[in-house]
Structure 1
Amino acid sequence: MEINAFGVEEWLNKWENEAIYDIAGSSIASMTLEDILNLEPSIRNKLVETLCHKTMNYGWIEGSPEFKEEVSKLYQTVKPSQILQTNGATGANFLALYSLIEAGDHVISLYPSYQQLYDIPRSFGADVSLWHIHEKDNWLPSLNELRKLVRPNTKMICINNANNPTGTIMDQAFLEELISIADEIGAYILSDEVYQPLEDDFSIPAIVDLYDKGISTNSLSKTYSVPGVRVGWVASNNQIADHFRKYRDYTMICAGVFDDIIATHVLHHKDTVLKRNKEIVHRNLSLVNDWINKEPRVSLIPPRHVSTSFIKLDIPEDTENFCIRLLKEKGVLLVPGNRFDMPGYARLGYCTHTEILQEGLKRLSEFLKEFD
């Protein structure tokens, strides 16, 4: 089986540990274990005692009942039995694709997006059509173009909503039209939903709540600030979940028992976590917008209060070379846009800790002045 190198992960694996000011990632400023234990100070000691006395066996294979109950609360129509715990959203996406896609199938994938969503189906021998996003449409794709891509045998349409790297969101009206297209041919929709918009009076429904053949994947890594726990999940209807169970046995036995406990604790206190993270996103996005207004060589279509953004660079240099020099000379890490097949752009993970963002943007501006 042949598969392309995973562009973003390859870049981060090589350079992330050299960064002093890492503004490349797309998680909201990660919490420490101390932060997590203090989400409810009155039970901190009880939680520590639970962890210390936990038997290090396999635990709950599909995720503990408490975990599945907390995850089901994130949806409108999903029961705990429809939730399967995975190794992050990466594991959830892989499980869905491994379970449903085989050689000769036709798959449509949003592009650019999370690379798994098009290169894994390709590696299985599927015929993958790319559904391009467009800068002129605020990085949304065209539904008319999708209608031209679908075939009678299209098996799955893959999206991530909000989009990585741009932060653009397909709203409910857009999703409902997408669903009508998919439903005409009986196609699944796989939606990676790790980037939740954190703004008041605005939300987007999960695809699993809108469409019977919708498959939602998510994790603790982005919106909930705990990528280190490596816990995600897939939510689907009962029939699809039962199908996934067979394939899951070949890819994952269970998450670690500590991981399940911490993940459940974070989700149980999601209101506290989301309040913290709303403040970070609002504050940091305001800083980025102010910086963009003063920086002549950078432009941005602002994301909708999600933790990733995609800046456009007006520089006479190869983007990846620019980003390597920026790291080596200023200690600032971005993800060059060519890692998304979009040279001339870069992913700016603005939801890091605010002081890191401020210094990173300052040093980026200093570096850009060499082109003046």
Structure 2
Amino acid sequence: MKLPRFGVEEWLNTYEKSATHDIAGVSISALTLAELFELTGDSQVDFLEQVSQTKLDYGWIEGSPQFKEEVSKWYSNTKPQQILATNGATGANLLALYALIEPGDHVISLYPTYQQLYDIPKSLGAEVDFWEVKEELNWLPDLEGLRKLIRPNTKMICINNANNPFGALMDRAFLEELVTIADQVGAYILSDEVYPSFQEGLDVPAIVDIYSKGISINSLSKSLSLPGIRVGWVAANLDVIDLLRDYRDYTLICTGVFDDLLATYALQHKELILERNRQIVETNFSILEKWLAQEPKASAILPEKVSTSFVKLDVEQPIEEFCIRLLNEEGVLLVPGSRFGIEGHVRLGYCGSQKILSEALEKLSKVLHTK
């Protein structure tokens, strides 16, 4: 099993600690414990007292019953026994791919997208075809293109919905057609669903709720602003869950007692956190939108209020060189689009501090207009 360097993570690991204005990350402003309990109105002291009296053993190996119950409420047609806790969404993706993909399998992956979804299948000996997004389709792929790629032996189709880095969303109609195509050959659909949209009126179902061979991946990192506890999950049919349960013993054992307690608590109060995050997204989205309207050297197909955006910059030098210059001169960190195979663009995370975002965009404009 040989994996290439993870382009985005390598970039962030190298540069993020030297940035004063980090707008490369695409989480929604991470919560502190104090902020979480201020939001819910409960006593942080009482919660920590409960933790102090809890044995720090392995806990519930697959996630506590309370955790699974709360996760199942994320879905409309999925029961607690269809849930397995994992070490973040990255752990969930790895688990599902490790358990289901074998040498010689045919896999179709959305591209560009989160690198796990195509490089892990390749490393396991699968033949991987790219289902490429198109700028003229607002960074969505073409379903007709999928029909040309699908084979009788296609084992899995991997998607990221909403997509990282673009924020493009496949809605119900799109997903239902995707399911029809996959079902014709009995292919699994693995859907990394960590990026929620806060746009009202959208209908974006989880793949596990609309397809018997759908595998939904999610976590508390993006939607609930708790990336630091590293808790995610897989939701799938019972046969898949039974298979993953065996492989999970080789990759994780458990997520940790404290992590399970805090994750369960956050899920019990998810509506409060989601409302807080909706306000952050809407406020910061307006800042980004206004900046794009005023900056002649930048443009974007904006997402449906998803926390990641993909911005085109009018620069003469390679985009990676420009990003390093921006960091060195102004302390602003972006992810160059070349890390996703697309030149002349950057991934811009706009859902952190409002002050940092505003200052970073001002600094970005300064460098865009300086030779």
TM-score normalised by the shorter chain: which range applies? Answer: over 0.9
Task: Name the counterpart of 2:246.
Answer: 246
The residue identity in structure 2 corresponding to 1:91 is G
User: 1:75-90 alignment to 2 at 5 Å?
Assistant: 75-90=75-90
The answer as to whether partners of 2:171 and 2:202 remain within 8 angstroms in 1 is no
Task: Name the counterpart of 1:354.
Answer: 354
- TM-score, normalised with respect to structure 1: 0.98
The answer as to whether partners of 2:281 and 2:351 remain within 8 angstroms in 1 is yes
Unaligned runs of 5+ in 1: none
Deviations 1:25-49 (A, max 9, x none): 0100111111123233234332121
Task: Name the counterpart of 1:165.
Answer: 165
The residue identity in structure 2 corresponding to 1:86 is T
1:272 aligns with 2:267: no
User: 1:115-130 alignment to 2 at 5 Å?
Assistant: 115-130=115-130
1: CA distance, partners of 2:370 / 2:43:
54
1:52 aligns with 2:52: yes
2: CA distance, partners of 1:85 / 1:155:
24
* CA RMSD of superposed structures (Å): 0.9
The answer as to whether partners of 1:95 and 1:244 remain within 8 angstroms in 2 is yes
The answer as to whether partners of 2:40 and 2:272 remain within 8 angstroms in 1 is no
The answer as to whether partners of 1:307 and 1:350 remain within 8 angstroms in 2 is yes
Deviations 1:293-320 (A, max 9, x none): 1111111001001110000111000111
1: CA distance, partners of 2:50 / 2:14:
37
1: CA distance, partners of 2:223 / 2:198:
8
2: CA distance, partners of 1:70 / 1:305:
25
1: CA distance, partners of 2:287 / 2:267:
29
1:186 aligns with 2:162: no
Task: Name the counterpart of 2:260.
Answer: 260
What count of residue pairs does the alignment treat as equivalent?
371
The residue identity in structure 2 corresponding to 1:186 is G
User: 1:1-372 alignment to 2 at 5 Å?
Assistant: 1-371=1-371
The residue identity in structure 1 corresponding to 2:243 is H
Unaligned runs of 5+ in 2: none
- Give the percent of matched residue pairs that are identical in Structure 1 and Structure 2: 60
Q: Secondary structure at the match of 2:42?
A: helix
Aligned structure 1 segments of 4 or more residues deviating by more than 4 angstroms: none
Q: CA deviation at 1:151?
A: 0.7
- TM-score, normalised with respect to structure 2: 0.99
The answer as to whether partners of 1:197 and 1:203 remain within 8 angstroms in 2 is no
Q: CA deviation at 1:51?
A: 1.6
2: CA distance, partners of 1:252 / 1:327:
36
